[in-house]
Structure formats: structure tokens, C-alpha cells
Amino acid sequence: MLFIKLLELSQSIQMDSKKIKNALLSVFYKDKLEKIAKSLEKLDVNIYSTGGTYDFIKKLGINAQTVESLTSYPSILGGRVKTLHPKVFGGILGRRDNDEDLRQLNSYGIPEFDLVIVDLYPFEETVISKATDQEIIEKIDIGGISLIRAAAKNFKDVLVVPSSAYYDELIRLLDVKQGVTTLEDRKLFATYAFHISSHYDMAIFNYFNDINLSVFKQSIQHSHKLRYGENPHQEGLFFGKLDDVFEQLHGKAISFNNLVDIDAAIHLINEFSEPTFAILKHTNTCGAASRDKLADAWKDALAGDPVSAFGGVLVTNQIIDKETSAGINKIFFEVILAPGYEEAALETLKSKKNRIILQSKSCDFPHNHFKSILNGIIQQEKDEKPLTIGEIKVVTKTAPKENEKLDLLFANIIVKHTKSNAIVLAKNKQLVASGIGQTSRVDALKQAIEKAKSFGFDLKGAVMASDAFFPFADSVEIAHKEGITAVIQPGGSIRDQDSIDYCNQHGLSMVFTGTRHFKH
């Protein structure tokens, strides 16, 4: 019985196996094509090719036939029509187990194509190059994408290679299996094919979608395996090009949580122009300071909450020098991100093998933010609205002093990047404390005050920022009794006047931004 089953399995594998006899090649990029062409020649495969691909193969001294010789039609319309012909697509789509298909192929003199290799016009690269609209349109591949879809549809008989990205895999297959493919091989490459074709169509759709159709479509070809997800028992993947954002100079693999914190750190630090250091924990800023000297910015950022800094993510917009690195090296942290490192500083920071040391790059980020929720996706524009001193609206009799204005802007940036309900207390461009993710604004303020006192901060002359309006005057009253002298908030409550009146009665200054910064 076992022998019979093994025999049946062997026969099934043999039936599924196909010897490559005829190949069709139509590619844009010729890299590695020489090795493929020589392998096909060695295997006595008949090669059909188009235009530049044919010229390339012939220059190698390898025999090939033009598609025109098969179809009896030249390439027309400036190359727009080359392969769109029944003798091409019949040879790809003909079913080898269908007698009527085989009869028709024979009747019309159509060869059975067992291998189709395509590399599409570089549409995305053309868009990025800032080419003209007409140049971009001409890079919408028609024949190539049709060849890919046809060959992938008939994967039972045809092996399709849809991109130069898979040339190496094809070369290995040709070398190891000597021109014989299995159904498993062909189905795998068909999967590659529909991946390439769907991504290609997605790129074209994005180019045309200037009317912003209300549809959600994403196609990202690059993925990065993360150390794990939010917890070690969860797998994690990042889809995108991390190499465009930073270079990892040292340390262990990045986890899901690391990456979420890195994202928050980058968007926070990008809001500062002067030398600034920040420390984040679970995407919230627990320490931040702007100073003329980076070592001072680090020291004052750490002072904001040296307890929470343990295992945190450190970020700065300056090159880290030796002096600053000496201070940083004294604490345990997960990740550090900076635009550069002095050689001595980098050596110091590398003293712990698991530290993730990243060098940031200039990168354009998407303007939309989305995440999966329930049985769908929610999407929104990112909260990227900047704020300048000239845009704040003073609503009290007392206007903030110049140094208070700078502190208010500093605090407003941090509160914008802090989980709601959020209150941020700042003084001399240093984060004194923050209340994070509380269910009431009063609780957030009380948390911030308690933290500030626990780390020895004097709140006299400090400023307060709120991510949303104050529904009552109670928060302003509590802040005033602790010595806080200026407040920045969006405004917009039907009881705004209560807070304004309290400030006027007690000599506080308050400014409105007109912009709420909820972060859930």
C-alpha cells in the first residue's frame, strides 16, 4: 500500500513538472539578463524577445527570435504595441491539458510559451524624477502588465518572472532543476506576479487620484521583520523603507514598541530648530530641554524625570559630542537617535552591546495617518499645524513676557505630542513635568504638579500648556496657587470667560491658539 501511494505521488509530481522549451523575454532593465539568457541557451530553450531585449541578447551571441517574426506585425505606435497579439497571448494562455486549445495552437502556428520574463516600465521612478506628465504616461506599461497577468493566470503550465527582483531566484531554479519547473514553483511565481501587477496599478492609481476618491488603497513592497510586537509573544512587521529614515549603527533588532517610540520622537524633535534633547517613554515626552550647548540640553532633559528615562528613547536634532555622550552613557536606555555622532561619542555609546544607536536622515513623511480599527481603517491628516509667536492670541489684560512666550511655544509643542488629557508645565525651555492620558484635565494637572515637586522643581514663573480647552476655571486656579504665571490653551469652551476672568483677577496671562491637539 505504501509503495502504491509513493508511486502515485511520484507520478503526480512528474505530471505537474514542465520542461521549459520556449521563453518570451520583454524587459526594461537588462541587469542579470545575460546570465539568464546564457542559462536558457545552455538548456536549448527557444528565446523570443522584443526590441531592446532582442538587441541585447543578440549582442551576447545568443540566438533569439523577434516577436515581430512570430506575429508578422512590427512594433507600432512608437512602441506602444509590440506583444499585444493572439500569437503571443495564445502561446501563453493555451491550456496544455485541453485538446481543443492544443489543436488551435497547432492550427495557427502558435508556440507554447513555458516561461515569460517581464520587467515593467519604471513608472514609480519616472514619477519621482519629476518628469513631465506625458513622459509619465508613456511609462504606463500595457503589454508587459498584460503578459504578466496572462502568464500568472495560466500558472498550471507557465512560469512567469514579473520583475528583475526575481531574476536571482529564476537563475537558481534554472541551475538546480535544469529547466524543469513544478506546479509549486509556478504558483509561487504567479503569486509574485500578482503582487507586482497590483502594486504597479496602485502606483498608477495614486498618480491619477488627484480628486482624492474616498477609497483606502495601500501597497508597500518592502517589509522589515521586527524583534517582536508590543509583547514578546506577538510577531511584528514594518512595511516601508526604514533605511530612508535612519541608519542603525549599533545594537539589537528593533521591536514594534521601539519603532512606535522612534516615530513619536522624530515628529517631536522635527518641531524644534534650536539645539534640543528629548526623552520619550511610551510615545510621551518625559524630559525635554532646549539649550545653546547640547550637553546642557541633555542634563536638563534628564532632570525632568530621571526615573521614567530608564529604558526610554533619546532623541536630539544635533550631532552628539563626546561630552554629551559621557552623560548619556550613565543611564540605561533602549534607543538613541541623532543626525550624527562624533567618533569618540559613538565609541562611548557602543559600550553596551544592545543599545540601539540610530543616525537620522532627512526624510519626507506621509501627511496622512491611519490605523486598523474594528473591521476597517480610520484615516486622518497628521497634526502638523505649526504655531508661531505672532499667531497666539492674548486674551487677558496681562500679556506674557518675552521669556514666557518662548516657554509657552515650547510647552505647546510638547503637549501636542502627549496623550490626552494632557497638561505640560515648562520653565526656561525645559519640561518641568507633564500629566499624561488622564480622564480629566484637573487630574492631568495634579499629576504634573506632583511630579514636578517630587523632582525638586520650583513652579514659580512656570507656564502651563493644555491640549484642549478648560471647561472650568478650576485648572487655572490650581496652577496659579502653585506659582504658574502664564497659560496656553486652544480656547473654544462656552465657559472660556471664567478662566479669563480668573487670570485677570490674579494677574496671570493667558493665550489662545485656536487649535486643539487631542492625541488618543
Q: Catalytic amino acids?
A: 153, 282
CB within 8 Å of 490: residues ≥ 6 apart: 466, 467, 468, 469, 512, 513, 514, 515, 516, 517
The whole-angstrom separation of Cα 53 and Cα 509 is 73
Residue among 46, 68, 203 at smallest CA distance from 123: 203
Q: How far is CA 42 from CA 37, 63, 113, in A?
A: 9, 11, 18
Task: Report the alpha-carbon distance of residue 231 to residue 82 in Å, rounded.
Answer: 53
Closest-CA residue to 171 (of 115, 98, 112, 228)? 115
Query: What pairing do the DSSP bridges indicate for beta strands 423-426 and 463-466?
Result: antiparallel
Q: Are 32 and 164 in contact (CB under 8 A)?
A: yes
Amino acid code (one letter) for 201: D
Distance CA 496, CA 491 (A): 7
Per the CB < 8 A criterion, the answer to whether 511 and 393 are in contact is yes
Check if the beta carbon of residue 377 is closer than 8 Å to that of residue 216. yes
**Around 472, how many Cα atoms within 13 Å sit in the side-chain half-sphere?**
7
Where does residue 399 fall: left (phi above 0), alpha (psi -120 to 50 degrees), or beta otherwise? beta
Residue 412: asked if its preceding bond is cis (omega within 30°), the reply is no
